[in-house]
Structure 1
Amino acid sequence: MTEPTDIPPFVRVEELDDLRGRRLVLADVRWYLDGRSGRAAYEGGHLPGAVFVDLDAWLTGPATAEAGRNPLPAPEVFAEGMRTLGIGDDDIVVAYDDQGGVIAARLVWMLRTTGRRAAILDGGLDAYLEAHPDSLSAAEPEADSGDFSVRPWPAEVLADADELTGPAALTLDARNRDRFIGQQDPVDPRPGHVPGAVNVPCRENLDPRGRLLPAQTIRDHFDAAGVDRTTASQVISYCGSGVTACHNLLTLEHTGLGRGRLYVGGWSAYGRDETRQVETGPGRTPSPAAGEATL
């Protein structure tokens, strides 16, 4: 994996001005599990100059039972999408959504793991509007084709299903509590979680306004799940289908704990394999419940 340089995984609205002297691309990555249109939300108003990144078109490959709902796209497809949006290898991409960054995290993780500079806008759309009221734009910028190269997904940042229950793995489930315990699941047929996984809902990294909690609070949260600087390299993060699990990985990195790996298939792949054991019930749940469904 090529190391991203000089850009942390999260930046605040007030830090955007410091980046504007360089080649900065704002990326709107709104997407909704309930089927609402992210494109329609973007067209209804977005950050000035932001491009719309279609998660289904450019950040996801074809769904299969084995690969899950949102597998990684072919590197060539990802590169085509970024070029179409005017994003180049040397650009700084700051991505946002209206869900605390848990969707935008997918784009940021994909860019950073292939050596590009990218970050989540902390607090997203709401934080920007708080600082710049009535500033949303309906205009879609004209983008010149970006110089974005094709790079393979680094094997060292990915995990497969067999590793989830291995003796060396520290497997974190980023979904909300009700889905983890098997109480309900709005999108996957089999309830429960990977045996031995620890539930660390990604939205519990955030305060009620969708901003990151203080770094020490987050570190304490992960510590309760068994993650510290000595064990972070053992982390395998999963969620429903490899989108919001990226938020936990970026939060680990941002708070100085280190980097883990992503199981892209998530529960949408693991849970569909009837040969694999699953668990229901609370398991290890180091913090209180949160509210919204995750991918």
Structure 2
Amino acid sequence: MTGAQQGFEDRAERVADDERKIQKEIEAKEKRSFKADDDAPPQTGARAYPVPPLPGKHLEKPGVEADLTLKPMWDAPFYKGSEKLKGKVALITGGDSGIGRAVAVLFAREGCDVAIAYLEEEEDAEATKAAVEKEGRKAILIPGDVADPEYAEAAVAKTIEALGGLDILVNNAAFQEHAKSIEDLTYEHFDRTLKTNLYGYFNMAKAAAPHLKPGSAIINTGSVTGLEGSKELLDYSMTKGGIHAFTRSLAGSLIKKGVRVNAVAPGPVWTPLNPADKSGDELQQFGAKTPMGRPAQPEEIAPAFVFLASPQTSSYITGEILPIVGGY
């Protein structure tokens, strides 16, 4: 391991410690509760997906998928690849679990090699790498903090060196922690959210842009909170709205290079992000207020990333925000 890589991993550990500190401060201040309004409607997918009440197990940040009682569904067994991304290389931040893992697997199924960027969730990252390799594609792991511009440059360089190029950047890493009021939102908490969710996206896009060719794509993970706001996610909603504006603005800048930039804005999705935030009754009823009466599973979101990544399917689409919000 190089000295630089050790430095990235040391910083990632410090950031994870900071996230856990913010989490503990919020949890000491509040007890959360939530009750669903209605029973869940019938299933609409290729297979049955879990409906509330969900397990209320709380995770320590940054959240390890392997520790969840109810595992997110990411393998999309009914999704058949058709070489939409044949020969391409993708770098996915937050690629170790949740939406990032599902996207990595479907990209691989479409013929893409994948670099998986993550903070420190080694067990999850190894599982994603194995899943990509099971699809017959190459995968590499790049731990570190996306808020560090030096890490962003190193992650792009390592991807190109190990996998032979870079065609797709997926900005997906995120930090989220509820706060009931602005008085409970410390500057440390606010700063961590902006550093990961905004600085991280900027750093990765800036590092990747010089290497992207005509037909390449950047896909950002936005959120329904960036469209509608959330009274208990003031900072997170602010960053997601910023990501939407960043997407539209960057799209206008990069189209002259033939690079498309779009965003997917999910509603509630069952990933480690929310069990590492909510707990108890509120977590058990996560997603229950959507018209579909449940949260999405990662495999239900990932095909949208394939659609936006592939020049076969979205060659005339840039600067768009694609909501996948369960009928909101």
TM superposition score normalised by structure 1 = 0.25
TM superposition score normalised by structure 2 = 0.24
Which of the pair is proportionally richer in helix? 2
